[in-house]
A = this chain, B = another copy of it.
Amino acid sequence: MKELAIYVDTNSNVPAYEQIYIFIRDEIIRGNIKKGAKLPSSRSLAEYLQFSRSTILMAYEQLIAEGYIEPSAKKGYYVLELERDFKGVKNVSEAEDTDGTASEGFEIDFSSDGIETEHFPYNEWRRIMRQVVSPENNELFNSGDPRGDLGLRRVISEYLMESRRVKASPSRIVLGAGNESLMMIINMLIDSGSVFGMENPVYPKSYMLLKGFGRRIVPVGMDGSGMLVTKLEESGAEIAYVTPSHQYPAGTVMSIRRRMELLDWAQAKEGRYIIEDDYDSEFRYKGKPIPALQGNDGGDKVIYIGTFSKSLSPAMRISYMVLPKALSVKYLRDGAYLGNTVSRIDQKAVEIFIREGGFGRHLSRMRKIYKNKHDVMLACLRKWKNTYVSGENAGAHMLVSVNNCMNSSEMERLAKENGIKVYPLDAYYIEEGEARDNRILLGYARLDAEKIEKGLSELARIWGL
């Protein structure tokens, strides 16, 4: 394929690279561009469409990340066969949404928890709070809608459509104080006999929550394209809990083929649902965030979960979910006696912050800040011998796999003796010892450049790299 006649509207709000990406993606899905076809080189397409080469490369990066095409050794971009699994770019999820002050006793903690708080918009927030806490808003100081306040649900609805292509009418959005509160509601909506299938390695908090509810959970294996739907089918689970945008903790991006398989699996039987935990999709350093699985759902099978814990602050405890129609009806009938768990003052503040554009500006600022830390991390890690870094394209942690004849618990122990906390991936598997995964998680959101450099040079020394 030499040329692709793509119409790009330069007056549109949608950036050119995104229009190009969407066009090619849709053509692949419709079958107009066949599997195995070679795309035009970035150079020739740039010339043909009269855009810079970097614009085309951004579009291609996005298609690669989502599993539609792959770069080949023969220097071209090939449309993927649906029969093949996509070895996705491994993305790393950002800080886990757990609380805890586990850093005690450690000089440097490479935790993936938490955020950089130095650049929280304190002044803007004070101004907004002054506006919110006012006798004119006195109705705000009583209880509100059990789903959360309509104003915030409206701006979230718009934000989700724009940034994640999630179809979410405000009436189907339910806010909750963290994953805890949302999972409590979901637990009530899902038949008590239903079994949950979870990715392995797993997002520990959701696993513990479901365990705590007395739910039966089966671990479902993954490959580089995400949860294995064949294994899910075998497991007998009715509910699939997945993190397709980038799996936590392994950082896998679920391929488009796997997404379709997963949706097909859910469609095949009544009572099957997919919980898409999109806990961290705001921070990516290559391409733009991958659209949510929910946007591809024609059959009302996806419960979509998102949060402001990473993008703003975990202190305010604002998460949200989008319910499929049937569950939304059930919720309004059986679940709306539950008061909403999110502070209405914070709800109003976030609503104003998003509506005024402050949230967008804050996200750009934070992307730059995390990108700087990320670059320092990579610069240090590239000096390590026999080390493979993955998941460096997103979030605020990466995975390192080092070949130094030590296992990860040995490395963890050595680090600890030197006042440094690291996180072996092994600990995230549901059945301990099932898979020996030697990778180590290193989070950097809360560390400054100096600490990162100091910590990593120390680790290199004690790990003999």
Contacts and interface: CB of A to CB of B under 8 A. Distances in A.
A144 B138 CA distance: 29
Residue of A117, A181, A334, A339 with most chain B CB atoms under a 10 A cut-off: A339
A192 interface: yes
Question: Contact size class for A?
Answer: 35 or more
In order of increasing CB-CB distance, the 4 nearest A-B pairs are A177-B341, A99-B143, A99-B339, A315-B344
A209 interface: yes
A343 B316 contact: yes
A280 interface: no
A352 to B, nearest CB: 14
Contact of A133 (B118, B125, B141, B314): B125
Nearest to A129: B129
Interface in A140-197: 140-146, 177-181, 184, 187-188, 192
Contacts of A99: 143-146, 339-340
Interface in A332-359: 334-346
A105 interface: no
A202 to B, nearest CB: 13
Interface of A: 97-101, 113-115, 117-118, 120, 122, 125-126, 129-130, 133-135, 138-146, 177-181, 184, 187-188, 192, 204-205, 208-209, 212-214, 309, 313-317, 334-346, 446
A122 B133 contact: yes
A140 B446 CA distance: 13
A56 B342 CA distance: 46
B133 A98 contact: no
Given A117-B139, A188-B212, 7 more contacts: A117-B141, A142-B315, A143-B314, A178-B339, A181-B181, A214-B214, A317-B341
A268 to B, nearest CB: 27
Given A113-B143, A146-B100, A446-B142, A181 B192 contact: no
Given A126-B130, A192-B214, A343-B343, A208 B337 contact: yes
Given A315-B343, A316-B344, A115 B129 contact: no
Contacts of A113: 142-143
A342 B341 CA distance: 8
A390 B340 CA distance: 32
Contacts of A187: 213
B115 A135 contact: no
A339 B204 CA distance: 12
A300 B339 CA distance: 30
Nearest to A114: B142
A240 B86 CA distance: 55
Contacts of A101: 144-145
Contacts of A145: 99-101
A141 B120 contact: yes
A334 to B, nearest CB: 8
B315 A180 contact: no
A343 B340 contact: no
A314 B133 CA distance: 14
A212 B333 CA distance: 12
B114 A341 contact: no
A384 to B, nearest CB: 29
B314 A142 contact: yes
